[in-house]
Amino acid sequence: MNVSIIGAGYVGLVTGVCLAEKKHHVTCVDIDKEKVKKISDGVSPIFENGLEDLLKKNISNKNFTATTNLKKAVRASEISIVAVDVPLVNNKVEFKYLRNAVKDIGIALKKLNGYHVIVVKSTVPPGTTDDVVLPILEEYSDKKSGVDFGVSANPEFLREGCAVSDFLKPDRIVIGGIDKKTTEKIVELYKPFDGDVLVTNNKTAEMIKYVSNALLATLISFSNEIANICAMTENVDVKEVMAGVHLDRRLNPRIPGGGRVNPEILSYLEAGCGFGGSCLPKDIETLINYCVGADSSCKCGLLKSVAEVNREQPKKLLQLLRKHNGSLENSIVAVLGLAFKPNTDDVRGSPAIPVIRSLRRKRACIKAYDPLAQKNARKILGTIGILYPESLEETLIDVDAVILITPWEEFRELHILINKLESPPLIIDGRRMLDKSKYKRYVGIGLNDANVCMKNGEPYGCC
């Protein structure tokens, strides 16, 4: 099929390249000329495992092109997928980019014959496709929905760091639509993919995306709330507590013959310093605002608590630092991990950002290290009082404390480097990924001080 993708950002580019990989002919549209040129040269403007290789491959086999000419791309396609940014500005969804893109698609449809389907892949509040997108298309195309064109909500479920594999091997494909003709067209688009297909109306499809992310965020904040309770309780470690919870057969079924399934959902039931990224924080706030705005009797107490726990969680790292190292002024603190999760260079919503800003306000000196995200972090945090060493080894030299924020695999054997130092720094494990027994001075999320400072009945380490 001939497909146009409007928006060459994270979702748009991954969607376009992966559809091209399945032999569709894709044209990706963006208003940024430099980005389009970069993409056309086979260089991905974002880091995502495997994306650039597939981009080059599909440019070479002529299944994928990039352009700034929206009208030409839309008129040469059967399906137009809208994947523009829909940001949250002052806690309100900003539709500016979506409206502009849809308006231009409507104008392009004026001189187009045949039934064209417009797909909203951007994450939008329930009702947006039917109540915002569809009327704009009718206004600027002078055509009738359901007669001349169809409109579909088709949310993405991509995880940064493994978005290409998620798209190519989906667990679910949710297809909304205004009528059967529309949904059948999208079903045909996804025919080369092996995943469970759920066909529904547009509002339900939009809601599914928010509920999916709300569940993940709730699991994380629940785990962090439990971590904070464990930290209050002598001789209790949240890591052991959650290991016991994970053995519940309803969460982690036994495999006949021995062993466990160990589903990935269990990774959201682990203590840490909070979730970040461009999706979960924004989607929680959007769903809260949608809920309160639609029905004043719905207070969204649970989701508000999920967001509040997440906002407060990075502060636990600073509390541990102050408690065990005293004054922060002129202290040198290594922050390990700047991306909001491993295997990405995305720092949006990363707990590292508020932690570093708080440390700078207390006049601490920062050595910030991340395998991929230092360039993006530097754009946000600047360089005043912050160094960005090129290696983990360099980062650890002459520091008073180390705060681990992003669980990169590179950090798992941190003790090998730490124990070579003449004066080992305090280790603050914000992800509980380290073996606490291998460090002389170790504290972590969900770990009571008694667990850290006593060994065989005798004080040691930070005591």
Query: Which of 169, 200, 231 corresponds to the end of one domain?
Result: 200
CA distance 116 to 137: 11
**Which run of H or E residues covers position 414?**
helix 414-418
Instruction: Answer whether residue 35 shows pLDDT above 60.
Output: yes
pLDDT (tens digit per residue) in 253-276: 999 988 999 999 999 999 999 999
In a domain, 172, yes or no: yes
Q: Does 25 share its domain with 147? A: yes
Residue 389 maps to which CATH number? 3.40.50.720
Q: Of 296, 338, 288, nearest to 314 (Cα)?
A: 338
A 10 A CB-CB count for 339 gives 28
- DSSP H or E stretch at residue 116: strand 116-120
The answer on 180 and 43 residing in a single domain is yes
Mean pLDDT on 95-108: 97
Using alpha carbons, select from 41, 34, 26, 99 the residue that is nearest to residue 68: 34
For 56, the token pair is: 């080059």
Q: Please check whether residues 35 and 162 belong to one and the same domain.
A: yes
Neighbouring C-beta atoms of residue 184, cutoff 10 Å: 15
Collapsing DSSP to helix, strand or coil, 452 comes out as helix
Dihedral in degrees, nearest 10, Cα atoms 361, 447, 339, 390? 80
Q: How many structural domains comprise the chain?
A: 2
Q: To the nearest whole percent, how much of the chain has pLDDT over 90?
A: 91
Question: Tell me, what's the pLDDT at 387?
Answer: 98
For residues 307 and 68, what is the distance between their CA atoms, to the nearest angstrom?
38
215: in domain:
no
Q: What is the pLDDT of residue 458?
A: 41
The pLDDT score that the predictor gives to residue 326 is 87
Query: Distance (Å, rounded) from C-alpha 86 to C-alpha 310?
Result: 22
Cβ atoms of residues 195 and 171 within 8 Å = yes
pLDDT, one tens digit per residue, over 315-343 is: 999 999 999 998 899 999 999 999 999 99
pLDDT (0 to 100) of residue 258: 86
In this prediction, residues 370-386 reach a mean pLDDT of 97
Q: What is the dihedral of CA 430, 432, 437, 442, to 10 degrees?
A: 10
- Strands 92-93 and 88-89, by their bridges, are antiparallel
What pLDDT score does 454 carry?
A: 36
Helix (H) or strand (E) holding 186: helix 180-189
Q: What amino acid is encoded at 63 in this protein?
A: N
Polymer length in residues for the chain: 463
> Residue 85 domain-assigned?
yes
| Final residue before a domain boundary, out of 142, 168, 200 | 200
| 45 assigned to some structural domain | yes
User: Given this model, what pLDDT does residue 296 score?
Assistant: 66
The answer on 323 and 188 residing in a single domain is no
* Residue 344, pLDDT score: 94
Residue 461: predicted pLDDT: 46
Beta-bridge partner residues of 404: 336, 429
Has residue 114 been placed in a domain? yes
Residue 175's nearest CA partner among 258, 66, 79, 273 is: 79
Say how many CA atoms lie within 13 Å of 261 toward its Cβ: 13
Q: Is 250 inside any structural domain?
A: no
Tell me the two tokens of residue 168. Answer: 């190519």
Domain-ending residue, one of 166, 200, 234: 200
pLDDT exceeds cutoff 90 at 148: yes
Quick check: helix, strand or coil at residue 368? strand
Looking at residues 43-60, what average pLDDT do you find? Answer: 96
Neighbours of 87 (CB within 10 A): 13
What integer pLDDT is reported at residue 462 of this predicted model?
41
What is the set of active-site residues?
A: 279
Closest CA to 399 of 366, 432, 444: 366
pLDDT at residue 96 in the model: 96
Contact yes or no for 44/30 (Cβ under 8 A): no
Domain assignment present for residue 301? The answer is no
CB contact burial 210-242 (16+ within 10 A = b; e otherwise): bebbbebbbbbbbbbbbbbebbeeeebbbbebb
Q: Is residue 102 part of a domain?
A: yes
Structural domain containing residue 75: 2-200
